[in-house]
Amino acid sequence: MTAVPIRWLWPGRIARGKVTLIAGHPGLGKSQLTLNLAAVVSTGGRWPADGKRSERGSVVILSAEDDVGDTIKPRLEAAGADVTRCHVVDAVRDVDGAGAIYLRAFSLAADVARLEALLAELGDVALVGIDPLTAYLGDADSHKNAEVRGLLAPLSEMAARRGVAVVCVSHLNKGGSSEALLRVSGSLGFVAAARAAFIVTKDADNPARRLFLPLKNNLSSDETGLAFAVEPCQLASGIETSRILWESAPVTVTADDAMAPVEATAERTEIADASDWLRDLLATGPVEAREVLRLAGQQGFNARMAQRARQRIGATTRREGFGKGSRVLWSIPIDDKSSIDDTTEMLSPMRPVVIYGAGPDDAPKPAAASTADGDRYRKASRGE
Protein backbone atom coordinates (compact mmCIF):
# COMPACT_ATOMS: atom_id res chain seq x y z
CA MET A 1 0.00 0.00 0.00
CA THR A 2 1.46 3.33 -1.10
CA ALA A 3 0.22 6.77 -0.06
CA VAL A 4 -0.13 9.24 -2.93
CA PRO A 5 -1.24 12.89 -2.97
CA ILE A 6 -4.55 13.95 -4.48
CA ARG A 7 -4.11 15.19 -8.02
CA TRP A 8 -6.34 18.22 -8.36
CA LEU A 9 -7.85 19.42 -11.60
CA TRP A 10 -9.55 22.39 -9.88
CA PRO A 11 -7.67 22.73 -6.56
CA GLY A 12 -9.87 22.03 -3.56
CA ARG A 13 -12.93 21.27 -5.67
CA ILE A 14 -12.54 18.77 -8.51
CA ALA A 15 -9.95 15.99 -8.34
CA ARG A 16 -8.55 13.90 -11.17
CA GLY A 17 -9.25 10.19 -10.84
CA LYS A 18 -12.53 10.87 -9.01
CA VAL A 19 -16.23 11.37 -9.76
CA THR A 20 -17.74 14.79 -8.98
CA LEU A 21 -21.47 15.58 -9.03
CA ILE A 22 -23.11 18.91 -9.92
CA ALA A 23 -26.85 19.10 -9.22
CA GLY A 24 -29.49 21.75 -9.71
CA HIS A 25 -32.90 22.55 -11.14
CA PRO A 26 -33.25 22.87 -14.94
CA GLY A 27 -32.31 26.16 -16.56
CA LEU A 28 -29.88 27.41 -13.93
CA GLY A 29 -26.66 26.92 -15.91
CA LYS A 30 -25.37 23.46 -14.92
CA SER A 31 -24.59 22.47 -18.51
CA GLN A 32 -23.13 25.91 -19.18
CA LEU A 33 -20.92 25.51 -16.12
CA THR A 34 -19.68 22.12 -17.33
CA LEU A 35 -18.66 23.65 -20.67
CA ASN A 36 -16.93 26.47 -18.80
CA LEU A 37 -14.87 23.83 -17.00
CA ALA A 38 -14.07 22.32 -20.39
CA ALA A 39 -12.85 25.70 -21.62
CA VAL A 40 -10.50 26.12 -18.66
CA VAL A 41 -9.08 22.60 -19.03
CA SER A 42 -8.70 22.65 -22.83
CA THR A 43 -6.68 25.87 -22.72
CA GLY A 44 -4.83 25.43 -19.42
CA GLY A 45 -6.72 28.53 -18.26
CA ARG A 46 -7.21 29.91 -14.78
CA TRP A 47 -9.84 28.76 -12.30
CA PRO A 48 -12.33 31.20 -10.78
CA ALA A 49 -11.58 33.05 -7.54
CA ASP A 50 -8.06 31.79 -6.78
CA GLY A 51 -6.78 32.24 -10.35
CA LYS A 52 -4.71 29.05 -10.28
CA ARG A 53 -3.87 27.61 -13.68
CA SER A 54 -5.36 24.29 -14.71
CA GLU A 55 -3.46 21.39 -16.17
CA ARG A 56 -4.09 21.47 -19.90
CA GLY A 57 -5.76 18.46 -21.47
CA SER A 58 -8.48 17.21 -23.74
CA VAL A 59 -12.12 16.96 -22.73
CA VAL A 60 -14.73 14.32 -23.57
CA ILE A 61 -18.38 15.37 -23.33
CA LEU A 62 -21.46 13.15 -23.20
CA SER A 63 -24.51 15.37 -23.65
CA ALA A 64 -28.01 13.95 -24.07
CA GLU A 65 -29.86 17.27 -24.07
CA ASP A 66 -27.87 19.80 -26.12
CA ASP A 67 -27.04 19.85 -29.83
CA VAL A 68 -23.37 20.04 -30.78
CA GLY A 69 -23.76 22.57 -33.58
CA ASP A 70 -26.15 25.15 -32.19
CA THR A 71 -25.45 24.89 -28.46
CA ILE A 72 -22.31 23.05 -27.35
CA LYS A 73 -19.78 24.42 -29.83
CA PRO A 74 -20.97 28.06 -29.63
CA ARG A 75 -20.88 27.94 -25.82
CA LEU A 76 -17.38 26.46 -25.87
CA GLU A 77 -16.19 29.18 -28.22
CA ALA A 78 -17.81 31.89 -26.09
CA ALA A 79 -15.98 30.49 -23.04
CA GLY A 80 -12.65 30.63 -24.89
CA ALA A 81 -12.20 26.87 -25.24
CA ASP A 82 -9.72 25.21 -27.56
CA VAL A 83 -12.41 23.28 -29.43
CA THR A 84 -9.83 21.04 -31.12
CA ARG A 85 -9.33 19.43 -27.70
CA CYS A 86 -13.06 19.00 -27.01
CA HIS A 87 -14.73 15.77 -28.15
CA VAL A 88 -18.44 14.93 -28.00
CA VAL A 89 -19.62 11.33 -27.77
CA ASP A 90 -22.47 11.05 -30.24
CA ALA A 91 -23.31 7.36 -30.16
CA VAL A 92 -21.85 3.89 -29.77
CA ARG A 93 -21.23 1.76 -32.83
CA ASP A 94 -22.45 -1.78 -32.28
CA VAL A 95 -23.29 -4.97 -34.20
CA ASP A 96 -26.62 -6.75 -34.01
CA GLY A 97 -27.29 -10.50 -34.11
CA ALA A 98 -27.28 -10.52 -37.90
CA GLY A 99 -23.90 -8.83 -38.09
CA ALA A 100 -25.29 -5.45 -39.16
CA ILE A 101 -23.64 -2.33 -37.77
CA TYR A 102 -25.88 0.20 -36.06
CA LEU A 103 -25.56 3.23 -33.78
CA ARG A 104 -27.13 3.38 -30.33
CA ALA A 105 -27.05 5.61 -27.27
CA PHE A 106 -24.14 5.35 -24.82
CA SER A 107 -24.94 3.34 -21.67
CA LEU A 108 -23.02 3.25 -18.40
CA ALA A 109 -24.16 -0.35 -18.00
CA ALA A 110 -22.48 -1.52 -21.20
CA ASP A 111 -20.02 1.04 -22.51
CA VAL A 112 -17.59 2.15 -19.80
CA ALA A 113 -14.92 -0.05 -21.40
CA ARG A 114 -15.54 1.64 -24.76
CA LEU A 115 -15.27 5.04 -23.08
CA GLU A 116 -11.97 4.02 -21.53
CA ALA A 117 -10.71 2.88 -24.94
CA LEU A 118 -11.57 6.32 -26.32
CA LEU A 119 -9.66 8.01 -23.50
CA ALA A 120 -6.66 5.80 -24.23
CA GLU A 121 -6.89 6.68 -27.93
CA LEU A 122 -6.96 10.42 -27.26
CA GLY A 123 -4.20 10.11 -24.71
CA ASP A 124 -4.35 13.44 -22.86
CA VAL A 125 -7.92 13.55 -21.52
CA ALA A 126 -8.17 15.39 -18.20
CA LEU A 127 -11.95 15.84 -17.93
CA VAL A 128 -15.04 13.81 -18.83
CA GLY A 129 -18.42 15.53 -18.55
CA ILE A 130 -21.66 13.48 -18.39
CA ASP A 131 -24.80 15.59 -18.75
CA PRO A 132 -27.19 14.51 -17.41
CA LEU A 133 -26.05 11.36 -15.64
CA THR A 134 -29.58 9.90 -15.54
CA ALA A 135 -29.76 9.82 -19.37
CA TYR A 136 -27.08 7.11 -19.46
CA LEU A 137 -28.38 4.70 -16.82
CA GLY A 138 -30.05 2.33 -19.30
CA ASP A 139 -32.64 0.16 -17.57
CA ALA A 140 -31.29 0.76 -14.07
CA ASP A 141 -33.67 2.18 -11.48
CA SER A 142 -32.21 5.50 -10.35
CA HIS A 143 -33.99 5.20 -6.99
CA LYS A 144 -32.36 1.91 -5.99
CA ASN A 145 -29.02 2.25 -4.21
CA ALA A 146 -27.69 -1.14 -5.27
CA GLU A 147 -28.36 -0.54 -8.97
CA VAL A 148 -26.91 2.97 -8.89
CA ARG A 149 -23.78 1.84 -7.08
CA GLY A 150 -23.41 -1.05 -9.50
CA LEU A 151 -23.39 1.37 -12.44
CA LEU A 152 -21.18 4.04 -10.92
CA ALA A 153 -18.52 1.75 -9.45
CA PRO A 154 -17.03 0.85 -12.89
CA LEU A 155 -17.10 4.54 -13.83
CA SER A 156 -15.21 5.46 -10.65
CA GLU A 157 -12.68 2.69 -11.24
CA MET A 158 -12.14 3.85 -14.83
CA ALA A 159 -11.62 7.44 -13.63
CA ALA A 160 -8.98 6.24 -11.18
CA ARG A 161 -7.16 4.11 -13.78
CA ARG A 162 -7.06 6.87 -16.37
CA GLY A 163 -6.48 9.73 -13.92
CA VAL A 164 -9.35 11.78 -15.35
CA ALA A 165 -11.88 13.92 -13.53
CA VAL A 166 -15.43 12.74 -14.25
CA VAL A 167 -18.02 15.47 -13.69
CA CYS A 168 -21.63 14.27 -13.72
CA VAL A 169 -24.63 16.60 -13.93
CA SER A 170 -27.85 15.72 -12.12
CA HIS A 171 -31.18 17.31 -11.25
CA LEU A 172 -32.88 18.11 -7.95
CA ASN A 173 -36.18 16.70 -6.81
CA LYS A 174 -39.09 18.92 -5.79
CA GLY A 175 -39.18 17.70 -2.23
CA GLY A 176 -39.15 20.08 0.70
CA SER A 177 -36.25 18.57 2.65
CA SER A 178 -34.31 21.15 4.65
CA GLU A 179 -31.08 19.26 3.91
CA ALA A 180 -29.76 20.13 0.45
CA LEU A 181 -27.92 16.82 0.14
CA LEU A 182 -31.25 14.97 0.16
CA ARG A 183 -32.60 17.06 -2.72
CA VAL A 184 -30.47 15.35 -5.38
CA SER A 185 -32.76 13.32 -7.64
CA GLY A 186 -32.83 9.56 -7.33
CA SER A 187 -30.94 7.34 -4.95
CA LEU A 188 -28.46 8.64 -2.39
CA GLY A 189 -26.07 6.31 -4.19
CA PHE A 190 -25.37 9.15 -6.65
CA VAL A 191 -24.05 11.43 -3.94
CA ALA A 192 -22.33 8.58 -2.13
CA ALA A 193 -20.38 7.56 -5.24
CA ALA A 194 -19.10 11.11 -5.80
CA ARG A 195 -16.07 12.25 -3.84
CA ALA A 196 -17.34 15.82 -4.15
CA ALA A 197 -20.80 17.19 -4.90
CA PHE A 198 -21.98 20.72 -5.64
CA ILE A 199 -25.32 22.42 -6.08
CA VAL A 200 -26.27 25.20 -8.49
CA THR A 201 -29.14 27.37 -7.26
CA LYS A 202 -30.52 30.88 -7.53
CA ASP A 203 -29.56 33.59 -5.09
CA ALA A 204 -32.76 34.24 -3.14
CA ASP A 205 -32.08 37.99 -3.18
CA ASN A 206 -31.01 38.24 -6.82
CA PRO A 207 -32.68 35.88 -9.33
CA ALA A 208 -30.08 36.69 -12.00
CA ARG A 209 -27.28 35.45 -9.75
CA ARG A 210 -26.35 31.77 -9.52
CA LEU A 211 -24.64 30.13 -6.55
CA PHE A 212 -22.23 27.20 -6.96
CA LEU A 213 -22.05 25.67 -3.48
CA PRO A 214 -20.47 22.53 -2.00
CA LEU A 215 -22.82 19.77 -0.83
CA LYS A 216 -20.02 17.43 0.23
CA ASN A 217 -16.30 17.16 -0.30
CA ASN A 218 -14.47 14.11 1.02
CA LEU A 219 -11.12 15.35 -0.28
CA SER A 220 -10.89 18.99 0.82
CA SER A 221 -11.80 21.23 3.74
CA ASP A 222 -12.73 24.16 1.49
CA GLU A 223 -16.36 24.96 2.33
CA THR A 224 -16.71 28.17 0.32
CA GLY A 225 -18.81 28.48 -2.79
CA LEU A 226 -18.74 30.76 -5.81
CA ALA A 227 -21.25 32.89 -7.67
CA PHE A 228 -21.79 33.47 -11.36
CA ALA A 229 -24.21 34.88 -13.89
CA VAL A 230 -25.07 33.65 -17.37
CA GLU A 231 -24.98 36.44 -19.93
CA PRO A 232 -25.93 36.43 -23.61
CA CYS A 233 -23.16 37.11 -26.11
CA GLN A 234 -22.55 37.04 -29.86
CA LEU A 235 -19.68 35.23 -31.54
CA ALA A 236 -17.66 36.83 -34.33
CA SER A 237 -19.62 34.59 -36.69
CA GLY A 238 -22.83 36.31 -35.62
CA ILE A 239 -24.15 33.28 -33.70
CA GLU A 240 -26.05 34.20 -30.54
CA THR A 241 -25.04 32.17 -27.51
CA SER A 242 -24.22 32.67 -23.82
CA ARG A 243 -21.36 32.41 -21.37
CA ILE A 244 -20.62 32.39 -17.66
CA LEU A 245 -19.30 35.38 -15.73
CA TRP A 246 -17.74 34.30 -12.44
CA GLU A 247 -17.53 36.60 -9.46
CA SER A 248 -14.03 37.04 -8.08
CA ALA A 249 -14.94 36.67 -4.39
CA PRO A 250 -15.94 33.42 -2.65
CA VAL A 251 -19.44 32.86 -1.28
CA THR A 252 -19.91 31.78 2.31
CA VAL A 253 -23.62 30.90 2.31
CA THR A 254 -24.17 27.15 2.74
CA ALA A 255 -26.12 24.90 0.40
CA ASP A 256 -28.69 24.24 3.14
CA ASP A 257 -29.25 27.96 3.67
CA ALA A 258 -29.47 28.65 -0.05
CA MET A 259 -32.06 25.89 -0.53
CA ALA A 260 -34.13 26.84 2.52
CA PRO A 261 -37.75 27.92 1.88
CA VAL A 262 -38.27 31.60 1.11
CA GLU A 263 -38.26 33.50 4.35
CA ALA A 264 -41.39 35.02 5.82
CA THR A 265 -42.23 38.70 5.60
CA ALA A 266 -40.72 39.39 9.02
CA GLU A 267 -37.36 37.98 7.97
CA ARG A 268 -37.43 39.89 4.70
CA THR A 269 -37.95 43.06 6.74
CA GLU A 270 -34.97 42.11 8.91
CA ILE A 271 -32.80 41.67 5.81
CA ALA A 272 -33.86 45.11 4.59
CA ASP A 273 -32.93 46.59 7.98
CA ALA A 274 -29.56 44.79 7.91
CA SER A 275 -28.95 46.08 4.39
CA ASP A 276 -29.59 49.68 5.44
CA TRP A 277 -27.29 49.30 8.44
CA LEU A 278 -24.51 47.71 6.40
CA ARG A 279 -24.72 50.35 3.67
CA ASP A 280 -24.28 53.06 6.31
CA LEU A 281 -21.37 51.21 7.90
CA LEU A 282 -19.49 50.83 4.62
CA ALA A 283 -20.28 54.30 3.33
CA THR A 284 -17.09 55.74 4.85
CA GLY A 285 -14.78 53.05 3.49
CA PRO A 286 -13.77 49.36 3.69
CA VAL A 287 -14.25 47.47 6.95
CA GLU A 288 -12.59 44.19 7.91
CA ALA A 289 -15.01 41.26 7.63
CA ARG A 290 -14.52 40.13 11.23
CA GLU A 291 -15.31 43.62 12.47
CA VAL A 292 -18.42 43.78 10.30
CA LEU A 293 -19.72 40.53 11.77
CA ARG A 294 -18.90 41.67 15.31
CA LEU A 295 -20.77 44.95 14.85
CA ALA A 296 -23.64 43.14 13.14
CA GLY A 297 -24.00 40.93 16.19
CA GLN A 298 -24.28 44.02 18.39
CA GLN A 299 -27.15 45.18 16.17
CA GLY A 300 -28.91 41.81 16.47
CA PHE A 301 -27.99 40.53 13.00
CA ASN A 302 -26.38 37.08 12.82
CA ALA A 303 -23.57 36.22 10.37
CA ARG A 304 -25.96 34.74 7.80
CA MET A 305 -28.09 37.89 7.86
CA ALA A 306 -24.99 40.05 7.41
CA GLN A 307 -23.91 37.97 4.41
CA ARG A 308 -27.38 38.24 2.89
CA ALA A 309 -27.26 41.99 3.40
CA ARG A 310 -23.83 42.19 1.74
CA GLN A 311 -25.12 40.34 -1.31
CA ARG A 312 -28.24 42.46 -1.42
CA ILE A 313 -26.45 45.83 -1.48
CA GLY A 314 -23.74 44.58 -3.83
CA ALA A 315 -20.86 45.04 -1.38
CA THR A 316 -17.61 43.44 -2.52
CA THR A 317 -14.97 41.49 -0.65
CA ARG A 318 -11.24 41.46 -1.22
CA ARG A 319 -8.30 39.85 0.54
CA GLU A 320 -5.28 41.89 1.57
CA GLY A 321 -1.97 40.24 2.37
CA PHE A 322 -0.97 36.60 2.48
CA GLY A 323 -1.04 33.74 4.96
CA LYS A 324 -1.90 34.30 8.60
CA GLY A 325 -1.49 38.06 8.29
CA SER A 326 -4.08 38.43 5.57
CA ARG A 327 -7.48 39.99 6.11
CA VAL A 328 -10.75 40.23 4.17
CA LEU A 329 -12.34 43.64 3.65
CA TRP A 330 -15.94 44.46 2.81
CA SER A 331 -16.61 47.62 0.78
CA ILE A 332 -19.03 49.39 -1.55
CA PRO A 333 -17.47 50.62 -4.82
CA ILE A 334 -17.04 54.38 -4.79
CA ASP A 335 -19.37 55.04 -7.70
CA ASP A 336 -22.25 53.31 -5.97
CA LYS A 337 -22.06 54.40 -2.30
CA SER A 338 -24.78 56.97 -2.63
CA SER A 339 -27.71 54.77 -3.51
CA ILE A 340 -28.34 51.15 -4.32
CA ASP A 341 -31.76 49.79 -5.23
CA ASP A 342 -32.67 46.99 -2.83
CA THR A 343 -35.40 45.70 -5.11
CA THR A 344 -33.30 45.11 -8.23
CA GLU A 345 -33.60 41.65 -9.75
CA MET A 346 -30.62 41.95 -12.10
CA LEU A 347 -26.97 41.23 -11.35
CA SER A 348 -25.53 44.36 -9.82
CA PRO A 349 -23.12 45.90 -12.36
CA MET A 350 -20.79 46.95 -9.58
CA ARG A 351 -20.21 43.42 -8.29
CA PRO A 352 -16.71 42.29 -9.43
CA VAL A 353 -16.98 39.66 -12.12
CA VAL A 354 -14.19 37.91 -14.00
CA ILE A 355 -14.42 35.89 -17.18
CA TYR A 356 -12.32 32.77 -16.68
CA GLY A 357 -11.45 30.18 -19.28
CA ALA A 358 -9.01 31.96 -21.58
CA GLY A 359 -5.66 30.23 -21.65
CA PRO A 360 -2.16 31.71 -21.63
CA ASP A 361 -1.38 34.49 -24.08
CA ASP A 362 0.40 32.12 -26.43
CA ALA A 363 -2.38 29.49 -26.40
CA PRO A 364 -3.45 28.44 -29.90
CA LYS A 365 -6.66 29.95 -31.19
CA PRO A 366 -9.58 27.60 -31.89
CA ALA A 367 -8.88 25.83 -35.16
CA ALA A 368 -11.14 25.68 -38.16
CA ALA A 369 -13.64 22.84 -38.31
CA SER A 370 -11.91 19.47 -38.42
CA THR A 371 -12.48 17.10 -41.31
CA ALA A 372 -11.70 13.98 -39.31
CA ASP A 373 -14.54 11.64 -38.42
CA GLY A 374 -14.69 8.82 -35.89
CA ASP A 375 -16.72 5.73 -35.11
CA ARG A 376 -17.50 6.49 -31.50
CA TYR A 377 -17.22 10.25 -31.25
CA ARG A 378 -16.85 13.47 -33.14
CA LYS A 379 -15.05 16.63 -32.25
CA ALA A 380 -17.06 19.57 -31.01
CA SER A 381 -15.06 21.66 -33.46
CA ARG A 382 -17.05 20.10 -36.29
CA GLY A 383 -20.25 21.72 -35.05
CA GLU A 384 -22.41 19.41 -37.14
Q: What is the Cα–Cα distance from 328 to 377, expressed in whole angstroms?
A: 47
CA-nearest of 288, 366, 295 to 330 is 288
Cβ(193)–Cβ(19) below 8 Å: yes
Say which CATH topology domain 265-343 has. Answer: Arc Repressor Mutant, subunit A (1.10.10)
pLDDT digits (tens, 9 = 90+) for 181-193: 777 877 777 888 8
Greatest distance between any 2 Cα atoms in the chain? 80
Q: What is the DSSP string of 215-231?
A: EEESS-----BEEEEEE
The predicted pLDDT at position 280 comes to 81
Residues 6+ apart with CB under 8 A from 168: 19, 20, 21, 22, 129, 130, 131, 132, 133, 190, 194
- Side chain identity, residue 339: S
The predicted pLDDT at position 384 comes to 42
The predicted pLDDT at position 149 comes to 87
Task: Name the segment(s) of the chain with CATH classification 1.10.10.
Answer: 265-343
- Side chain identity, residue 150: G
The predicted pLDDT at position 316 comes to 87
Backbone angles phi, psi at 330, to 5 degrees: -105, 140
What are the percentages of helix, strand and coil residues in the chain, rounded to 5? 30, 25, 40
Cβ(315)–Cβ(331) below 8 Å: yes
Task: Name the segment(s) of the chain with CATH classification 3.40.50.300.
Answer: 8-248+355-382
The predicted pLDDT at position 378 comes to 40
Superfamily grouping for domain 8-248+355-382: P-loop containing nucleotide triphosphate hydrolases (3.40.50.300)
Q: What is the DSSP string of 330-371?
A: EE--GGGSS---TT--S--TTS-EE------TTPPPPPPPP-
Q: What does the pLDDT profile of the chain (384 residues) look like in tens digits?
A: 888 899 999 999 999 999 999 998 888 999 999 999 999 999 999 999 889 999 999 999 999 888 999 999 999 999 999 999 999 998 888 888 888 998 888 999 999 999 999 999 999 999 999 999 988 988 888 878 888 888 899 999 999 999 999 999 998 876 656 677 777 877 777 888 889 999 999 888 888 899 999 998 888 877 789 999 999 999 999 999 999 999 988 888 888 888 876 554 455 677 888 888 888 888 878 899 999 999 888 888 898 888 888 888 888 888 888 777 788 889 887 544 333 333 222 222 223 333 344 444 444 333 333 333 333 334 343 334
Count of residues for the chain? 384
Cα angle value 157/88/229 (rounded, 5°): 95
Strands 19-24 and 196-203: parallel
